[in-house]
Amino acid sequence: MTLGSVPILQLLSVSKRFGATASLTALNLEIETARTTVLLGPSGCGKTTALRLMLGLLKPDSGRVLFRGQPLGAEELLQARTRMGYVVQDGGLFPHLSALDNVRLMARYLAWPPQKVAERVAELAHLVRLPDSTLTRLPRDISGGQKQRVALMRALMLDPELIFLDEPLGALDPLVRAELQDDLAAIFARLGKSVVLVTHDLAEASFFGHVLVLLQEGKVVQQGSIDDLVLRPAEPFVTRFVQAQRRFDAGHAAQARP
The per-residue pLDDT for range 210-249, each reduced to its tens digit, is 999 999 999 999 999 999 999 999 999 999 999 988 765 5
Residue type, 251: G
Q: What is the CATH number of domain 1-83+193-258?
A: 3.40.50.300
Residues in the chain: 258
* Cα 60 from Cα 13, distance rounded (Å): 10
Question: Using an 8 Å Cβ cutoff, are 194 and 162 in contact?
Answer: yes
In this structure, what are the phi and psi dihedrals at residue 13, rounded to the nearest 5 degrees?
50, 45
* Cα 11 from Cα 26, distance rounded (Å): 9
What average pLDDT does the structure give for the chain? 89
Question: Using an 8 Å Cβ cutoff, are 165 and 204 in contact?
Answer: no
Q: Which of 42, 48, 35 is nearest to 1 (CA)?
A: 35
Q: Which of 138, 130, 204, 139 is nearest to 165 (CA)?
A: 204
Q: Where are the domains of the chain?
A: 1-83+193-258
* Cα 162 from Cα 202, distance rounded (Å): 22
Q: Which pLDDT band, with edges at 50, 70 and 90, does 254 fall under? A: very low
* Overall pTM surpassing 0.75 (yes/no): yes
* Cα 190 from Cα 114, distance rounded (Å): 26
Over the stretch 185-211, which tens digit does the pLDDT of each residue have? Answer: 999 999 999 999 999 889 899 999 999
Q: Is the pLDDT of residue 257 over 80?
A: no
What beta strand segments (E) does 137-236 contain? 162-166, 194-199, 211-216, 219-224
Residue type, 237: F
Residue 4 is predicted with a pLDDT of 43
Over the stretch 116-166, which tens digit does the pLDDT of each residue have? Answer: 999 999 999 999 999 999 999 999 999 999 999 999 999 999 999 999 999
Share of the chain above pLDDT 70, in %: 93
